[in-house]
Structure 1
C-alpha cells in the first residue's frame, strides 16, 4: 500500500529572511516554530532526516509545500521574486528524489495575475501538482474578486489548490484568544483551535462568494478533516438561499472539496468524513514536521480503520493519483 502525504512542509532561507524582515503586524504566529529549534531544522531539510521521518511514519511520498503563511504577507515585489525561487528549489528537490517527493507550488497572491501565471509555469514546466494557498493575503480574504484569476487558472489546469490555515488576524486574536499568557494565547490561536476556525471560515467564504459556481472544475483540498465546517454542514446549509448559490453548501464538499487528516489520526473523524463527503473525497496527510505520528502511524491508521481494501487504497494514494492524472500539463 503506497501512502502519499499531502500536507508536508518545507522552508527556504530566502523565505525565512523575508518573514523575519516583516513588520510585527504581518508576522504570523508560526514564525517561531518555523525558524527555531527542531521544526526549523526539519523544514529546511530535503535529505536523510526527512526520509527517515517518512520511513518511521510509514509514509512513502511527501507532497511538499511551503509552510504557513507562504509569501502571502510579503510586499508584492518580494512575493513575486520568492515564488519563482521557491518553486525552482522545490522542483530541484523533486528531481533529486522523484520516487519520494512531489510538490505544491508557492504563489505570490499579493499580485494575483503573477500568481496565476506562476501556477501555469509550475504545473506545465516544473511538474508540480497544484499549489498551496492560505486564507488571507495580509488583511484581504482570498474569496475577494481580485484573486479570482488564480482560481480561473487552477480550474483551467484542473490543478488542485490546498487551502491551509494561518494565524487569525491580530484583532481576532485579541478578542478571542488572549488573556492566558503568551504561550497559551499563541497555542489557543493556532493549533489549539484558532487556525481551524480561521481556515474553516475561509472555506465557507469561497463557497458563499460563488467561486465554485463560476469555476465548477476547481478542486480545493482542506486539511484537519474540513477545518471544523464538516461537523456543522446541516446547520450551514441554511445559508444556501440567502447566498443565492446554485447548490447547497454541503454539496460542494462532495464535488469540489477534498478532505485530509493533517496528522489528526482519528477514526471517528474519518468515519464522519466518509459519511458526509464520501471516501472518494478523502486524501492523506501527516503535517510534517509539526505533527509526529507514532512509529508506523500512517500505515497502522489506515490498516486498522475498518475500511475495505479498495477504500483504504483510495485514501492512501489512489484518490490523489486520480486527481493528479486529470491535471492538464
Structure 2
C-alpha cells in the first residue's frame, strides 16, 4: 500500500472568493492579491480556460487516474501554500473556515482515497484554535497544515502560538509544515522575486526555521507529545543538524530548550522528498525508519515513483515508509 500525505488541493468553492485576494487562476498563473505564481510567458487561452484546466486536474476522477498511474492508494490533501492567507486580515479567518468545509466535503465523497489536513489562520491564534478543533472533531481532518515561518509576524517560538500547540496536542493530531512564497508579503513589488526564490529555496528555509524555532522556543518541553511532519525532507534542518545542535547554546544563549537539539528528533517525521537515492538513505540513517513517511507534492512538478526503491530496506521497513507510519501518525 502507498499513501502520499503531501498533496495540494483547490476546489471551485475555494476560488474567486475575495475581490482582491482571490485566489484566481489566470493565464499568468495562480494569483493571490498582487502575487502570481506563474510565468512571464502566459499560457494560451483565457483566464476562464486556465481556471477550468486547473480544476479539472483536481476532480476526483482525474486524481484517482493519476493515483492509479503512480500506484498510490490514498492521498492526504492540504490547501496550496500560496493561499494560506496569513497576511489577509479578517479574510484569513473566513478563508480558513471555508477551506476546511470544502476539503471535508471533497474527501467525504471518496474517503477510501482521500483525507485532508485542516487549514488554520495562525496569524490569529485564538481563531486558529477554534478552526482546528472544529475541523478535527466535526469535519474529519487528520491534522493541521501550517506555513514554515512568519504568520503575520508570529513565529513557531512565539508565546501567542502555544495555545495552538496545546490544542493540537490535546486532539492528538500532527502538524504538517510546508513553507510558502514569502514574496507574497512584498505586495505589488513581488516581481522582485524574479526566479521564485522564496518558494524554490525559501520553502526549505522556512521549514528549517520552524524546526529550529519550535525547539529553541521551548514548545517541545511544554508539549512533549506534539508531533510534527516537515515536508521536503525537513528542508535543510537534517542536513545541518550537527551545526544546529552544536551552536544551539554557544551562539543562541536565549534558546529555551532544556535538552540538546538532537534529543528532540523523535518528535518529528520527515519524507524522502530529495532528488538522490544517497540523500534518502542519509535521511533514513539519521532519523530512523519509524519516523519517515511518504510525501511528494503529489501531482506537482515531479514523480519519484517508488519512494523505497534502491534503499536496501527490508519489506517490513519499506512498508512502514510506504504506508504504515502514515496510518499510525494520522490515524488513517
Contact 2:85 2:91 in 1 (8 A): no
What SS does the corresponding residue of 2:7 show, helix, strand or coil? strand
| 1:137 alignment partner, one of 123, 145, 151 | 151
Unaligned runs of at least 5 residues, structure 2: 23-31, 40-46
Name the residue aligned to 2:27: none
Residue 175 of structure 1 corresponds to none
Query: Matches of 1:19 and 1:40 in 2, distance apart?
Result: 21
Instruction: Look up the SS of the partner of 1:108 in the other structure.
Output: coil
Match of 2:305 in 1: 298
SS in 2 for 1:229: coil
Shift of 1:90: 0.9
User: Is the alpha carbon distance of 1:16 and 1:44 closer, same or farther for their aligned partners in structure 2, counting shifts above 3 Å?
Assistant: farther
> How far did 1:29 drift?
5.5
The total of aligned residue pairs comes to 308
2:210 counterpart SS class: helix
Q: Is the 8 A contact 1:75 1:110 kept in 2?
A: no
The Cα shift of 1:97 comes to 0.7
Aligned-pair CA distance for 1:222: 0.5
SS in 1 for 2:294: coil
Residue of structure 1 equivalent to 2:129 = 116
- Deviation at residue 75 of structure 1 after TM alignment: 3.3
Q: What is the DSSP-based 3-state SS (H/G/I as helix, E as strand, rest coil) of the residue aligned with 1:133?
A: strand
Describe how 1:1-329 pairs up with structure 2 within 5 A: 2-13=1-12, 15-17=14-16, 21-22=20-21, 27=33, 31-32=37-38, 41=54, 45-134=58-147, 135-168=149-182, 185-191=194-200, 193-241=201-249, 242=253, 243-253=255-265, 255-262=266-273, 264-293=274-303, 297-299=304-306, 301-325=307-331
Does structure 1 retain, via aligned residues, the 8 Å contact 2:13–2:102?
Answer: no
Residues 114-165 of structure 1, C-alpha deviation per residue, up to 9 Å, x if partnerless? 2112211211211210010002223332431112211110011111010101
Unpaired runs of 5+ residues, structure 1, are: 173-177
Shift of the 43–257 alpha-carbon distance from structure 1 to 2, 3 Å rule, reads: farther
After TM superposition, give the deviation of residue 112 of structure 1 in Å. Answer: 1.1
Runs of 4+ in 1 over 6 A off after TM superposition: none
Helix, strand or coil: the match of 1:7?
Answer: strand
TM-score, structure 1 length as denominator?
Answer: 0.83
TM-score normalised by length of structure 2? 0.82
Greater relative contact order (CA < 8 Å, ≥ 6 in sequence): 1
Conservation of the 8 A alpha-carbon contact between 1:62 and 1:102:
yes
TM superposition shift of 1:315: 0.4
Shift, 1:321, TM fit: 0.9
